[in-house]
Structures are given as structure tokens and as C-alpha cells.
Chains A and B, each alone.
Chain A
Amino acid sequence: MKELVEYIARAVVDHPDAVQVTQVEEDGRTILKVQVADEDRGKIIGRQGRVAEAIRTLLRVAAIKQGTRATLQID
């Protein structure tokens, strides 16, 4: 799941080196925290949140395949 979010995030921002994804387990669910350069926040969220929403949709599939639930958090 972490790899998925990293792969997408690095490809859509202007500063891929600044992308950091951390995976935390909390109450039986997985939280993926994404950190990007300040000026890249808009890129990862997208117009009307479309990019973040699409990442969440794909993440849901990755989580189901691993038998867990995952949340995407953009810091």
C-alpha cells in the first residue's frame, strides 16, 4: 500500500524527492500519511480533490487485497 501511494505521489508532484509516505497501524486499520513539499499540496489533492479521491479509491482495492482497511492522510 505504501509503495502504491509513493509511486503515484512521486509522479504527480514537482518535487518527488520531498515525498514521504509513512504507514501506521492503528486500531486494526492502516493509515498512510503523505508528506509533500508545500507547493505540491495542490498537486496531490488536485482540482476539487480529484487526485486525492482517485488515490483513495485505488488504495481501497490494495487494502481489500490485503484484508485490511486503509486511510489516506495528506499532511
Chain B
Amino acid sequence: MEKPEPASLEISAKTVDEAVEIALKELNLSREQVKVEVLKEGKKGLWGLGTESARVRVTAQLEGPNLEAVAVEVCHQLLRFMGIKAQVTAVDPPPTVTTPVSLDIRTDDSGILIGRRGETLAALQFIINLMVGRRLHGEAGVSLDVEGYRHRHYESLQNMALRVAERVTATGRPVTLEPMPARERRVIHLALADRPDVSTQSTGEGDARRVEIRPKQ
């Protein structure tokens, strides 16, 4: 039987960079072709005491017209079985480099499809990525939007991040934001990545994970 798992590897090494390097060699891929998850940061320790190795999971990132076609098909089928009439189109080109495929869904049922705080849309995106990733053996990286809902939501997150950053700089005190899912935290990190005056850091575990915005000294 064909191996259904995505091309993925878990590697331990002294540092995260080292582990990633080993994994890339094993998979024969470059840094741009993979998604890296840091499972354990690793610690240097003192004179060899308390040293912990770093552990990463490296997964091949899928791309190209085939990925797009499969993603559209899977999304379309799911919506059909859910009883939602919709048009699914791939947004060309995708809005960011790390999102190889972005689908926009046009429907009269947008409210029910987005769900409370976007949870239905998030579930649909999760299932699509799981199904497409398994079918094509890799990390699918499909992002979904319903008539620009996500786009508008991300824009408001960016604006909020900039406002909070201003406040952090003005007061010199760090501010911790509300807990957010990974994709939204990423929007905050990216929005402030180039700022010379503040830095961002995610703290907490699971559903309670939140971004802290701190003044840079």
C-alpha cells in the first residue's frame, strides 16, 4: 500500500537550526519548501548540566496547480455534502508566500459558514488541509475566506496591533493581548516584525496562548 503520511520528519539536535539542517538534508529539500514546527526549543545548560536537545518536525510544503485543483475540489465536495450552495475560486496569486493556496467562497450562506467567531470556517479549513495533505503527501497550507471575511478580520487585527504597539512605546510597558488561534497570532507577529521599537512573543499553552508586545531596549 502507498504510504499515506505526509513527507515529514522529527529530528533532535543540539539546537533548532542544527535539527532543521539535518532534516532538510534527509528530505532533500530547501528551507523554502518545508514547514518547520519547533517541538522543543532545547537548552544550553551550564557546564553540561541541564542541557536539553532541541526537537523539530519538518514537513514538505506542497505547491503548484495540482495542489490548487485538489483543494478546490475537496472544498467544493465538502460544501455540497453540507448542503451549502457556493462558488469556490482560488485567489491568484495567493496573498502571502507562506500560503500556497487561498480559496474564496461565495455563498448566500456566509453567516452560517463562518460560524461563531469564525469557528466553522476554521473547522472547514482544518479538514481541507488534513484531507489535501494526506492525498498529496505534504503540508497543504490552504487558507479559506468567505467573501473577504478573513481578509477584513486580519486587517482589523493588524490595525489593533499597530495601535497597541504605539501604546507600548509611549508607556514603555508590555501589553498582553487576548488569547488567539495560531493564524491570528501570526498576523500580529508579522504586522510588528519590522518595527524597531517593539518585539512580540507568544506565551501560554493551547487555547490560552496569547501574544505579548514589549518595548525593545
Q: Which residues of A contact B (CB under 8 A)?
A: 1, 3-4, 7-8, 11-12, 14, 50-51, 53-55, 57-58, 60-62, 64-66
Contact = CB atoms under 8 A, between A and B. Distances in A.
Nearest to B121: A57
Q: Chain B at the A interface: mostly helix, strand, loop or mixed? A: helix
A8 B84 contact: no
A12 B131 contact: yes
A4 B75 CA distance: 12
Q: Chain A at the B interface: mostly helix, strand, loop or mixed? A: helix
Contacts of B127: 8, 51, 54-55, 58
Contacts of B82: 4, 58, 61-62, 65
Given A11-B134, A50-B126, A54-B127, A61 B120 contact: yes
Contacts, number: 58
- Of A1, A7, A54, A60, which is in contact with the most chain B CB atoms at under 10 Å from its CB? A54
B94 interface: no
B41 interface: no
B83 interface: yes
Contacts of B124: 54, 58
A57 B120 contact: yes
Nearest to B5: A14
Interface residues of B, number: 23
Given A7-B81, A8-B78, 14 more contacts: A7-B78, A14-B4, A50-B126, A51-B127, A54-B124, A54-B127, A57-B115, A57-B123, A58-B78, A58-B82, A58-B123, A61-B113, A61-B120, A64-B112
B126 A62 contact: no
